[in-house]
Every structure is written in C-alpha cells, then in structure tokens.
Amino acid sequence: MTPAAEGFDLRIEPFRTELLAYCYRMLGSVHDAEDLVQDTYLRAWRTRERYDETRSSLRTWLYRIATNACLTALEVRGRRPLPSGLVAASEPLAPLVQAENIAWLQPLPDSMLDAGDPAGAVVERSGLRLAFAAALQHLSARQRGALILRDVLSFSASEAAEILGTTVVSVNSSLQRARARVKEAGVRREPLNEPAAAEQRGWIDRYMKAFEHADVEGLKRLLTEDVIMEMPPMLNWFAGRGNYGLFMEWVFQAAGTDWRLEAVTANGQPGFGAFRRVGGRYEPHTLQIFTVTAGGISRNSVFQGAEVFAPFGLAAGFDSSP
C-alpha cells in the first residue's frame, strides 16, 4: 500500500462508527448496516482518486456514498416495523401468533458504537431509541434520509441535498412530511421524562431481581399503568400493568422459574438477555430492551432469535451449576 493510500485509510476510518449508526437508522437491521458500511468503505477506496476536497468535506462525501448504498438496498427491502406499529393490540393470554415473512426491527448493541468511539462523542444516541427507530420505518426512504440527516445529524439543508443527490427544496419538502408523520406517531427522539442512564439501570436491576425470583407482583410495581409489551417475531402485543402481570404469570408457568440474566444496553436503553434453564444448561430465550420513564418502565421490547443475540456477544448458553 502506498503512503497516500494508507493515509486515505487513516482519514476515513474515524467515521466508521457514526456511519454504522446512520445505516442502522436507515435500515433497522444491525446485519444490513454492517454490510453497507463495509460496502461504503469499499466504494470509497475504489473512487478515492475522484474525491475533491474543494467541493465537499470528507464526511459529507462518505455520507453520500453510504446514502446511495442505503437507498439502493431499500428499493428491494421492506420496512422493519415492531408489532405495535403493525397490528392492533391483543389479549395477554391469546395464543401467540408468529408472523410469516416479516423482517422486524432489530436492536443495536451500544457496545458496537462504544468500541469504535470510546469517548461516546460521535454518535447522537437519542436518535437511536427503539421507538424512534421504529417510527422511521414508516417513512419513505428519502423522507427517512432527510429527517436523519437534518434533525439527528444536523447537516445543513444544502449538505443534506448533496448527500441525497437532490435539491434543497426537495429536502425541505421531505423533511416537513417526515416530521409530520413522526409527530402523528407521538414519538420524540428524547422523551421529556427520561431519567439519567444510571437511574434507568437501577430500575432494570430491580426488574431483573424480581424476574429471577418469578415475582410477578414485584415486576408490576416497577411498571407504568399503561406499559406496553411487544415481542417480535410474534404479532402479539398488549398494554396495561394488569395484562403484563397476567402474561408474566403465564411465562413462568410455561417456561419455568429458573433463569440466568445478562445485562445489556441497546439503542441507548437498558436491558438483558434471558437464559432459561433446560436440563443441565441455560439456553437463550429472549433479549429484552426497556424504555424507562420517571414513573417506571413504560415499554418492554422482547426479541428472539440467534440473529438478535449474536451481535451482543452473549453466549450460546451456560452450563448450570451442579
């Protein structure tokens, strides 16, 4: 590798983490985001001789390459919703219904951002909240891009137009429509009554302790009255502390009361991986990510599947103690 080429690599590498967050916001998939960031860097390398620093900053140029990759991918990939944005609420003890041929929104491990950005200064975390990420999935690809570039990443209208390959008028029009759609969904990037991260972790630590003891009443005391639980790939979701308690009673009856929990954080929110005792091992069961308000836990998004567990570096299981 020539010194010039090596220097180019060093110049573009610091943007990798924020581009991963951007591609995740656009696509709602950890795996797709990783693939498209790799594709972005490959395209940047191949066209490095064409980069003109007098026309745009290196960051803007990389975002344009990443955006083109995302827009192309979104032409053939559907949106990734959560159940609460797709179907009506169900009863807590209704039979579980697994959706067919639906790609769901995936949680993004905070560790994937922290690894590339130890100071935590590059990636604006509030624009990664699960509720906001899910709301983005209901926008068109270009509306999504305009909203993220302008409102989350604070690019100017002219920079956003360059990145999206369009005009300032078009960007402003897409942004206006996108803001209206997100407002209709009642979603804010940063909830007004969200406690500090340490306080949120405290709520979830208490929830984990109650969960490990199969203490349904203890769980309910940590919930808001209108708490929501959803659990892709199941279409079922429901609201209300009472319904939540009924469902958890069923969970402990059906899956047992012997669990091992591993704390995680995703999308700037606390959570844990739940491993259920099966014979002599604890097997992966669910990944649960929480929204915490000053009044308690207001949402639990429960995910299943190896493709969800893997990015968190969680073990495939644990041997139980003798």
Q: What are residue 319's phi and psi, to 5 degrees?
A: -70, 135
Confirm whether 144 is domain-assigned: no
Confirm whether 297 is domain-assigned: yes
- Beta partners for 245? none
Residues with Cβ within 8 Å of 246's Cβ and at least 6 positions away in sequence, in order, are 92, 93
- Beta partners for 58? none
Out of 50, 77, 104, pick the residue that ends a domain. 77
Check which CATH number belongs to the domain holding 57 and give it: 1.10.1740.10
Confirm whether 130 is domain-assigned: no
Out of 46, 77, 108, pick the residue that ends a domain. 77
Confirm whether 180 is domain-assigned: no
Confirm whether 53 is domain-assigned: yes
165-176 confidence digits (pLDDT tens):
999 999 999 999
Confirm whether 107 is domain-assigned: no
Residue owning tokens 């969800």:
308
Confirm whether 220 is domain-assigned: yes
Check which CATH number belongs to the domain holding 266 and give it: 3.10.450.50
Nearest to 311 by CA among 261, 264, 259: 264
Range of the domain at 12: 1-77
128-179 confidence digits (pLDDT tens):
999 999 999 999 999 999 999 999 999 999 999 999 999 999 999 999 999 9
6-64 confidence digits (pLDDT tens):
688 889 999 999 999 999 999 999 999 999 999 999 999 999 888 888 888 999 999 99
Number of domains in the chain: 2
Out of 43, 77, 111, pick the residue that ends a domain. 77
231-283 confidence digits (pLDDT tens):
999 999 999 999 999 999 999 999 999 999 999 999 999 999 999 999 889 99
Confirm whether 185 is domain-assigned: no
- Extract the runs of DSSP E, i.e. beta strands, from the chain: 223-230, 237-239, 259-266, 269-278, 281-293, 296-303, 318-319
